[in-house]
Amino acid sequence: MPPSFNQTVSAQELRRRVLALAEPADQALKDTLKSHVPYIEQVSGYIIFSGGKRLRPVLYLLAAAAAGSQGQGRHAAIFEYLHAATLLHDDVVDEAGLRRGRPAARTRYGNDAVILVGDFLFSKSYSLATEVADHRFVTALTDCTTLMAEGQVLELLFTGDYELAEADYRRVIQAKTAVLIAASCQMGAIFAGADEQLVESFYAYGMELGMAFQMVDDALDYVGTEHEFGKPVGHDLGEGKITLPFIFARDNRDSAERARLLELAAAAPTDAQAQAEAKELVRRAGGVDYTFAQAKAHALAAQEALAALIPPDGPGEHLETLLALAPYVVERRS
pLDDT at 3: 47
Query: Superfamily assignment of 11-331 in CATH?
Result: Farnesyl Diphosphate Synthase (1.10.600.10)
Q: Note whether 45 and 171 are within 8 A (CB).
A: no
- Return d(Cα 287, Cα 281) in angstroms, integer: 9
pLDDT digits (tens, 9 = 90+) for 302-315: 999 999 999 888 88
pLDDT digits (tens, 9 = 90+) for 18-66: 999 999 889 999 999 999 999 999 999 988 988 778 999 999 999 999 9
pLDDT digits (tens, 9 = 90+) for 182-237: 999 999 999 999 999 999 999 999 999 999 999 999 999 999 765 555 555 667 89
Question: In the chain, where are the structural domains located?
Answer: 11-331
pLDDT at 180: 98
Q: Could you tell me the pLDDT band of residue 284, with boundaries at 50, 70 and 90?
A: very high
The burial class, CB within 10 Å (0-12 / 13-18 / 19+), for 6 is: exposed
pLDDT at 96: 77
Q: What is the pTM of this model?
A: 0.93
Task: Give me the percent of the chain exceeding a pLDDT of 90.
Answer: 76
pLDDT digits (tens, 9 = 90+) for 80-129: 999 999 999 988 887 877 776 788 889 889 999 999 999 999 999 999 99
Residue 4 neighbours by CB under 8 Å, 6+ apart:
none
Question: Which has the minimum average pLDDT: 175-184, 230-239, 269-278?
Answer: 230-239
**Burial track 263-274 (b if 16+ CB lie within 10 A, e otherwise):** ebbbbbbeeeeb
Helix, strand or coil for residue 99? strand
